[in-house]
Amino acid sequence: MHSIVTKVPPAALAIGLICFFLPFVTFSCQGQKIVSLTGIELVTGSSIQQPQMFGPPTNQKLDPEPLAVGMLLAMIAGFGLGFVKGKKGVVASAFLAGLGLVLLLALKSKLDSDALRQGGGAIQVQYEAGFYLVLLLLLAAVGAAVLAWLQARNIPLTAWKWGGPDKFCAQCGARNAASDLYCKECGAKFT
């Protein structure tokens, strides 16, 4: 378990934590930007100025988003556990990265439904660079952990075939991929 693959989950989670400082989501109405929030603002809550039709803008307090808080905590714990030696650290880090991924997708769903419910369809939600970077980094952390798990069990990646089992040529007996139309050795056509 000392491969470089085991170092990817904590590194991906660390970079993902930094991405919380980037813009995560922008809300707009009829092409007019209402507010843009970073991941940290989703976690801690924020104050926004809401324009009024008549009079000065009013301040509105946005509460912390529990799904964003849970995602951040899962990523921090996954980062820390990624340094534990052995397979327990990799498994725990992968589990927490997977949990962070589920929470990120649940957060997206919640923000979309809240915007639809509160804005009656007039509010558009646009996800920004921070959101997509965190999504990609969580996927990378989970993928690297799966690769590390396969390596630890000496399962070659070639054992995971998408085209089904190999087939053998009736003419010469050569092994061919399930997707091959002709034998690689003798050129006989498969039926």
Task: Tell me the pLDDT tens digit for each residue of 59-70.
Answer: 778 899 999 999
Query: Residue 42: left if φ>0, alpha if ψ -120 to 50, beta else—which one?
Result: alpha
Q: Which of 142, 140, 135 is nearest to 19 (CA)?
A: 135
Please state the φ and ψ torsions of residue 126, each to the nearest 5 degrees. -120, 125
Alpha-carbon distance of 177 to 163, in angstroms, equals: 7
Neighbour count for residue 58 (Cβ, 10 Å): 10
pLDDT in tens, 17-36: 999 999 999 988 888 888 89
Q: Hey, what amino acid is at 42? A: L
DSSP for residue 144: H
Give me the mean pLDDT over the 84-100 stretch. 83
**Low-confidence winner among 65-79, 81-95, 175-189 (lowest mean pLDDT):** 81-95
pLDDT band of 15, cuts 50, 70, 90:
very high
Scan for tokens 């980094």, then name that residue: 137
Two tokens, residue 91: 């498994």
Which residues 6+ apart lie within 8 Å of 186 measured at CB?
169, 171, 172, 174
pLDDT band of 159, cuts 50, 70, 90:
low
Domains belonging to the chain, first-starting first, are 4-157 (1.20.140), 161-191 (no CATH)
Give me the mean pLDDT over the 47-57 stretch. 68
Between the alpha carbon of residue 107 and those of residues 21, 67, 114, 185, the distances in Å are 17, 6, 10, 53
